[in-house]
Amino acid sequence: MRIRIVDAFSDRPFAGNPAGVLLLDAFPEDDWLQNVAMEVNHAETAFAHPLPEGGEADWALRWFTPVTEVTMCGHATLATAHVLHSTGAHEGPVRFDTLSGVLVATPGEDGSITLDFPTAPLTRVEAPEGVAEALGAEPLSAFDTGPNIGDLLLELADEKTVLGLTPDLKALGAHSSRGIIATARAEDPERGYDFVSRCFFPNVGIDEDPVTGSAHTALAPYWSERLGRTGLTGLQASRRSGRVRTEVRGDRTLLSGRAVTVIEGELIA
């Protein structure tokens, strides 16, 4: 079977967030899926197979990190939609049946793909004791992002603070089910982005995720309320870096970006 590595939320190779993508006839045993994801060793590997016509979805989709299955993943969904469209396996909007319900990916005329995801419900909480020491910065505010994401969103003082983080990842893992989203307002919006973030997910085997689509379902409503606009662009400032265009539509959030296939090969195991 064909296996592809796709850089998502990027218009060039070796940037954005890489994901493995496999198109299957059906899902094999979970152990096999997990072993492939461990072998690929990227933040997520996506597995998809076509569904019968006439249903609510066109393809079934699952996502695995190197250590576990996850309930939501933006960049691997974008990567899968890119593979379906670039190979001719599917035309037009594609509806994915996932653990987070039916998610739709729509190709744009400019080559981008827009994902329709549920907006994360944000609940203000007290910053947990010890999280500032683990992160290496004092949060201004803290929010729980709900069960689909399972992160703790922390606003920090400024962009420079976010960029300079060197957290204690082992200690950080004690403060949420998946990880920590650290964010701040953009220092200079003229650079083309409105807010900056970094995401640390040690509990699912990802020390720092390059570009996290699912995190932007929480970042988008947070910053849209703060900045007074529904349409924003976020910069995830990892070493690989990437930008996510967002638009909040009530209980749904649109995430837009591009993707590039960088490796295509044959899986023989």
CATH entry 3.10.310.10 includes domain 2-117+256-266 = yes
Name the token pair of 45. Answer: 């590997």
Average of per-residue pLDDT across 99-113: 96
Is the fold of 2-117+256-266 the same as that of 123-250? yes
CB 233, CB 246: distance < 8 Å: yes
Residue 217 contacts by C-beta under 8 Å, 6 or more apart in sequence? 72, 74, 117, 118, 119, 120, 148, 149, 253, 255
Please tell me the distance from the alpha carbon of residue 219 to that of residue 16, in angstroms, as a whole number: 18
How is the chain split into domains, by residue range? 2-117+256-266, 123-250
pLDDT at 102: 97
pLDDT at 15: 96
Higher pLDDT, 197 or 176: 197
Kindly tell me if the per-residue pLDDT of 125 is higher than 90: yes
Kindly tell me if the per-residue pLDDT of 231 is higher than 90: yes
CATH entry 3.40.640.10 includes domain 123-250 = no
pLDDT at 133: 97
pLDDT at 269: 86
pLDDT digits (tens, 9 = 90+) for 201-230: 999 989 999 999 999 999 999 999 999 999
Please tell me the distance from the alpha carbon of residue 32 to that of residue 35, in angstroms, as a whole number: 5
Kindly tell me if the per-residue pLDDT of 97 is higher than 90: yes
Kindly tell me if the per-residue pLDDT of 263 is higher than 90: yes
**Across the chain, what does the average pLDDT equal?**
96
Average of per-residue pLDDT across 122-138: 96
pLDDT at 88: 97
Among the listed residues 29, 39, 44, 109, the single catalytic one is 44
Confidence of residue 148 (pLDDT cuts 50, 70, 90): confident
Average of per-residue pLDDT across 125-138: 96
User: How many CB atoms sit inside 10 A of residue 192's CB?
Assistant: 10
Instruction: Return the closest-CA partner of residue 100 out of 149, 55, 37, 144.
Output: 149
Catalytic (active site) residue 44? yes
